[in-house]
Amino acid sequence: MNEDFEPKIVAFLCNWCAYMGADLAGTSRIQYPPNLRIIRMMCSGAVDPVYVIKPLLDGADGVLIGGCHPGDCHYQEGNYKARRRVAILKNILHQMGFDEERVWLRWISASEGQVFAETVTEMVEALKEKGPNPLKELWGT
């Protein structure tokens, strides 16, 4: 593992749960690695695959999609649809020779500041294990 390597993660967090979880982590002063670039979405179901693929092709080391736990979606079923979409996206990335484990989907509720911090820590660790996204260097995307 390259200790100097700090992965860059783009995170799409839903307004109602995961983003609130991140907020709670902050207001509770829970420490977590600063590798995340957070984009607030109204719903994990609003994350089109194009939003995930774009940063990966541009060299981001990972993409995190955070939504409400199943059954808790503010819009009733957005997270269930997100789950199908992410499953399809990961399957396609895998079939196309891309490491689909760089894409994470996690359910984080508004009260789970600790879970949010732990998720980020875990993801940073996992990506450090993997090393940088090869597309950072590869010519031709």
Partner 1 sequence: MKVEKFLEVKEGDTLAILRNFLQRLLEKEIVEALLVPLEAPSGDTVMPALVKEPARLEKANPLAPVMPVNAARLVSSLTIGKPKEKIGALLRSCEIRALIELVKLQQAHLENLMIIGIDCLGTYEVTDYAKLLSEGGASTTELMRGAKEGTLSPHEGYQFRSACRICEYPIPKNAALTIGLLGVDGEKILIKAPEELAQRLELTEGEAASREEVIKKLGEARIEERDRLFAQFRERVVDMPSLLAQFSTCIRCHNCTVACPICYCKECLFRTSTFEHESDRYLKWARRKGAIQMPTDTLLFQLTRLNHMVTSCVGCGMCESACPNDIPLTTIFRAVGQEVQAMFDYLPGRSLEDELPLATFKEDELTELGER
Question: What b/e sequence results for 42-52 when a residue is b if at least 16 CB atoms lie within 10 Å of its CB, and e otherwise?
Answer: ebbbbbeeeeb
Examine residue 75 and tell whether it contacts partner 1 (CB under 8 A): no
Report the residue from 25, 64, 115, 127 that binds partner 1 according to the rule CB under 8 A.
Answer: 115
Report the residue from 19, 32, 107, 116 that binds partner 1 according to the rule CB under 8 A.
Answer: 107
- Pseudo-torsion of CA 122, 9, 14, 42, nearest 10°? 180
List of residues 6+ apart from 98 with CB closer than 8 A: 56
Examine residue 70 and tell whether it contacts partner 1 (CB under 8 A): yes
Examine residue 42 and tell whether it contacts partner 1 (CB under 8 A): no
Give the span between the Cα atoms of 114 and 102, in whole angstroms: 22
Tell me which residues touch partner 1 (CB under 8 A): 48-50, 53-54, 57-59, 67, 70-71, 77, 79-81, 83-89, 91-93, 95-99, 105-107, 115, 118-119, 122, 134-141
